[in-house]
Amino acid sequence: MTEHNTDRDYPASTIPPGGVEPVPRRVRAVLGGRVVFDTVRALYVWEWPYYPQYYIPRSDVDPDVLVDEQHVQHLKHGTAQRHGLRVGDVERPRSARVFTAEAEKGLEGMVRFDWAALDAWFEEDEEVFVHPRNPYTRVDALRSSRPVRIELDAVVLAESASPVMVFETGLPTRYYLDRTAVNFEHLEPTDTVTACPYKGRTSAYWSVRVGGELHPDLAWAYDFPTRQLLPIAGMVAFYNEKLDVIVDGERLPRPDTHFSR
């Protein structure tokens, strides 16, 4: 249950021609308390249509961290030499690809790291979660006075006249409500934690029990969202793919996304 997925249907306009462009931000990553790379010359490379990956110049990578595994790979963007990472006793085998002279023009000598192999990634001094933020994706959190009611099987789970609406490219509108507007009688906390590159890491998830049936992980909250999404801090949202949302008295159709399944 995550707020990001490569099945998202982004418009074609969110992908630049050629699928490669410079990153205008400083990008860093750490492993075992050591900076693996620190660069202002990273590239966005769209390996999939929905969001980019960072490619890092090898000259900006700590050479003592890379471990050549003597294995050549033929990838979408050309030939690469596979490397592992080692920092003290911490090892991450098969986690970096160093592109050779046979790579696509402009990618020679660039390094592509597996995201999960590193402990933390940063754009400037702010941590980035899950994958790089797509520079062509927009996420807005707007306060509203439109009344919103959340129901499941005719049971009211939450109701508010002061929601925050989150509009994100490729996803249906999410409605965040104050916790005082939520009927927690029907909510049961779970151990689920997810992360989103645009909103940060969740602080809570709840399943919903209605009529004796438990519906897992239907609601979540970000107590400490990213700076851009501060209006949703501490508020609760629900998957409108799996329950009913009534806005201004109108019951909205349930959207069909990868979260529907």
Answer whether 12's CB lies under 8 Å from 204's CB.
Answer: no
Domain coordinates in residue numbering, the chain = 17-128, 139-260
Query: What tokens were used for 123?
Result: 């754009």
Query: What tokens were used for 255?
Result: 């959207």
Residue 77 one-letter amino acid: H
Lowest mean pLDDT among 13-17, 132-136, 195-199: 13-17
- Identical fold for domains 17-128 and 139-260, yes or no, is yes
Determine the pLDDT at residue 18: 67
Averaged over 62-80, what is the pLDDT? 93
CATH of domain 17-128: 2.170.150.40
Lowest mean pLDDT among 157-166, 239-248, 250-259: 250-259
Answer whether 155's CB lies under 8 Å from 187's CB.
Answer: no
Averaged over 119-127, what is the pLDDT? 95
Determine the pLDDT at residue 213: 96
Averaged over 97-117, what is the pLDDT? 93
Answer whether 84's CB lies under 8 Å from 92's CB.
Answer: yes
Where does residue 234 rank: exposed (0-12), middle (13-18), buried (19+ CB within 10 A)?
middle
Of the candidates 139, 126, 134, 213, which has an alpha carbon nearest to the alpha carbon of residue 176?
Answer: 139
Q: How far apart are CA 1 and CA 216, in angstroms?
A: 10
Lowest mean pLDDT among 46-50, 75-79, 188-192, 257-261: 46-50
12 pLDDT higher than 70: no
State the Cα angle at 56 between 22 and 102, rounded to 5°. Answer: 95
Ramachandran region of residue 223, left (φ > 0), alpha (ψ -120 to 50) or beta? alpha
Determine the pLDDT at residue 1: 45
State the average pLDDT for the chain: 91
Which residues sit opposite 27 in a β-bridge? 39, 123
11 pLDDT higher than 70: no
* pLDDT tier for residue 104 given thresholds of 50, 70 and 90: confident
CATH topology of domain 139-260: 2.170.150
* pTM beyond 0.85: no
* pLDDT tier for residue 181 given thresholds of 50, 70 and 90: very high
Q: How far apart are CA 139 and CA 170, in angstroms?
A: 10
Query: What tokens were used for 127?
Result: 């941590």
Answer whether 163's CB lies under 8 Å from 248's CB.
Answer: no
